[in-house]
Chains A and B, each alone.
Chain A
Amino acid sequence: MSPGAPLAAGAAGPMTPEPLRVRSLRRETADTWTVSLDVSRRPGGFPFQPGQFNMLYVFGVGEVAISISGDPGRPAELLHTVRTVGAATHALRGIGRGGTLGVRGPYGRPWPMEEARGQDVVVVAGGLGLAPLRPAILHLLRHRAEYGRVSVLVGARTPEDLPFRRELARWQEDSRLRVLVTVDKASPGWTEHVGVVPALLSDVEVDPARTVALMCGPEVMMRFTVRELERRGVPDARIHLSLERNMKCAVGFCGHCQLVPYFVCKDGPVFPYEKLRPFINLREV
């Protein structure tokens, strides 16, 4: 039930962060930044599994759940990609190179990379939903021979809102992946798709008997994508969603992340759709 040992737990207590220095900041979009943290003093770096997240603490301001967006095969580097939306994320952005953040984690159930072995994998990301999926894609590339066809479908509001844009372009050139990108609203010079993410599925060959889907993005986008995958015959047990809920503790104490029977922090954030089916279409769960 609890993948990944609680690194910041132990004598310090599960709610106590570890200070880590900001090594660099890279701009992804107008409001989104990738923060690299220095883990060189930690023996073994910062191991994690794709889809897991950390709680990032800004001195005196607050603590927020942020997915780890780096390469699980390179634990010497710890990356998070953060969109500035409110108090904590703005303060986080303001810290700058050489500043210090508090970190505790990694938390949560990861993407089912083992279960997906030998299968075709369809990765579906809406906006910054690509952040927790990037480690999964990097894992797939690193262990490419162990998986079948890999398709990556990405959507954003405008081309300027696409995170990891240069990397996406590189992946599009990579014959080992099929990468389709769409935007709601094109800007001049845009030559890719325009429209919603689920529509991209019609361009992908889906063999329901051997497809595993991993998705993260706005809940509406995921609902429509699930519907489309179900229509194509992919069983609910092989459609995996990463969910977002308010999180104050990430360790199962605070109750904020509940979704009827689940604690999104420890039972998720990644869930097979078969577990969500009875609840996810209700309002206000």
Chain B
Amino acid sequence: MPEVTSSAPEEGRAQLSLEQFAALLAALRGEGWRLVGPTVRDGALVHEDISGAEELPRGWTEVQEAGTYRLARREDGALFGYSVGPKSWKHLLFVPRLRLMSAHREAEGFRVESEPTEPPRLALIGARSCDLHAIAVQDRTFLEGPYKDPDYAARRERLFVVAVNCGQAGGTCFCVSMRTGPRATFGFDIALTEVLEGGHRFLAEAGSERGAALLSRLEARPASEEDIQAADAVVERTAQSMGRTMDTTDIKGLLYRNLEHPRWDDVAQRCLACTNCTLVCPTCFCSTVEDTSDLRGDVAERWRRWDSCFTLDHSYLHGGNVRHTIRGRYRQWLTHKVASWWDQFGTSGCIGCGRCITWCPVGIDITEEVAAIRATDGARSGA
């Protein structure tokens, strides 16, 4: 590792030109990192393998509302001029399908082989503050309990994170309410703020030694007071323009004392139990396990696959499903996200990214549901 040299200022903040930004990505590739960043696919901004800055969604933005998502053209050439797309980084760490083991029949019984975990070294390009909070939330599930998930742990260790402080809030964002953004405060190697006024450029801040080392290799100019103020103004403007808000005052108590609120009956009329919200949510961690065997019965495999509390099977017990109505399942989801997660993991399970609002086919809005319960706190359903 090269020494942190003087070209990065003391606070580790530097000013990057577009060329230097492109050089940053090239340097990461050169160091053997696989770049994963936002790119336009099938009418949405998704995180995919990219080869460099030229594949970023220059001049694109998103329009998001409850049940609505579409791409739109920007007037400028911003590279990160949008908020969050449907695919969070969850896909890369808590992968949707994973083989956990294989078992092989032998003369006496069988032998079990666990899966080797040698995941790729990934550089996440453009992770948002809410995304970093979401990763920290999942860390508590997979790394900080009595057991560690070895696959998640291995993937988590092989990350380089280039965060982007949001320059624009999405129509369904509410990170300010959840205190998870829009400025990245931890969990990154380098954080960028894209500044468009007065020349397209980035303010870069190192969050780790290797981040600082990389910045210093770009020979970027140390950020001036004005550069920092311009970047702060960008983030400040984003914070002022959140699409949604959620009052989180005693939110756990609110949900726990309203488990029989009539709003659950109301939302159950609208919810399709399609599972979209749980699949796009960057913190939902439910999975199921499938054991299979080949036709001859010599080799068996165990797979883990994403699951959702909106499926009937999620709570299946021989003799009946615990949550057999949509009312029970929606209540499980919302109560888990904003209330019981606190008891389980000492944090909110919702980080305010708004994905569940945007991707709900009928436009159910978590902030609206919480507000409705708060407005009639203590009401009980007649049933």
Q: Interface on A for B, CB 8 Å cutoff?
A: 1-2, 6, 9, 11-19, 21, 57-63, 85-86, 99-100, 102, 244-246, 248-249, 251-256, 258, 260-263, 266, 278-279, 282-285
Question: Shortest beta-carbon distance, A172 to chain B, in Å?
Answer: 30
A100 partner residues in chain B, CB cutoff 8 A? 108-110
- Does A244 lie within 8 Å of B317, measured CB to CB? yes
- Does B256 lie within 8 Å of A258, measured CB to CB? no
Q: Interface on B for A, CB 8 Å cutoff?
A: 100-101, 103, 105, 108-112, 114-115, 141-142, 145-151, 256, 259-260, 285-289, 291-293, 297, 300, 302, 304, 307, 309, 313-319, 322-325, 327-328, 331-332, 335-336, 340, 343-344
- Does B112 lie within 8 Å of A260, measured CB to CB? no
- Does A2 lie within 8 Å of B286, measured CB to CB? no
- Does A13 lie within 8 Å of B287, measured CB to CB? no
A248 partner residues in chain B, CB cutoff 8 A? 287-289, 307
Known contacts A6-B147, A261-B340, A261-B343: A283-B289 contact under CB 8 Å: no
Beyond the given pairs A252-B141, A253-B149, 18 more chain A to chain B contacts, judged by CB atoms under 8 angstroms and listed by A's residue number, are A13-B101, A14-B147, A16-B114, A21-B109, A63-B291, A85-B318, A102-B110, A249-B289, A253-B141, A253-B142, A253-B285, A254-B307, A255-B285, A255-B309, A256-B286, A256-B315, A279-B259, A283-B328
Closest 8 CB pairs of A and B: A60-B293, A100-B109, A284-B328, A261-B343, A255-B286, A2-B146, A60-B300, A251-B147
Distance A251 CA – B108 CA, assembled complex (angstroms)? 29
Residue of B nearest to A19 (CB): B109
Question: Shortest beta-carbon distance, B103 to chain A, in Å?
Answer: 6
Residue of A nearest to B149 (CB): A253
Query: CB within 8 A of B145: which of A19, A256, A258, A266?
Result: A266
Distance A159 CA – B316 CA, assembled complex (angstroms)? 29
- Does B288 lie within 8 Å of A59, measured CB to CB? no
- Does A17 lie within 8 Å of B112, measured CB to CB? yes
Question: Shortest beta-carbon distance, A218 to chain B, in Å?
Answer: 9
Residue of A nearest to B340 (CB): A261
Known contacts A13-B114, A18-B112, A253-B287: A284-B331 contact under CB 8 Å: yes
- Does A285 lie within 8 Å of B322, measured CB to CB? yes
Question: Shortest beta-carbon distance, B342 to chain A, in Å?
Answer: 8
B101 partner residues in chain A, CB cutoff 8 A? 13, 15-16
B293 partner residues in chain A, CB cutoff 8 A? 59-61
- Does A86 lie within 8 Å of B318, measured CB to CB? yes
- Does A260 lie within 8 Å of B340, measured CB to CB? yes
Residue of B nearest to A62 (CB): B291
Distance A245 CA – B316 CA, assembled complex (angstroms)? 8
Query: CB within 8 A of B146: which of A251, A255, A278?
Result: A251
- Does A256 lie within 8 Å of B149, measured CB to CB? no
Residue of A nearest to B314 (CB): A256
Residue of B nearest to A98 (CB): B108
Query: CB within 8 A of A15: which of B302, B313, B324?
Result: B302
Residue of A nearest to B327 (CB): A284
Distance A150 CA – B108 CA, assembled complex (angstroms)? 44
Question: Shortest beta-carbon distance, B179 to chain A, in Å?
Answer: 22
Chain A CB count within 10 A is highest, among B146, B300, B328, for: B146
Query: CB within 8 A of A282: which of B114, B260, B317, B318?
Result: B260
- Does A16 lie within 8 Å of B112, measured CB to CB? yes
Known contacts A12-B114, A254-B289: A246-B145 contact under CB 8 Å: no
Distance A19 CA – B112 CA, assembled complex (angstroms)? 8
Residue of B nearest to A89 (CB): B318
Residue of B nearest to A263 (CB): B344
- Does B297 lie within 8 Å of A60, measured CB to CB? yes
Chain A CB count within 10 A is highest, among B109, B286, B325, for: B109
- Does A256 lie within 8 Å of B288, measured CB to CB? yes
Distance A13 CA – B141 CA, assembled complex (angstroms)? 15
- Does A63 lie within 8 Å of B110, measured CB to CB? no
Question: Shortest beta-carbon distance, B330 to chain A, in Å?
Answer: 11
Query: CB within 8 A of A61: which of B145, B291, B322?
Result: B291
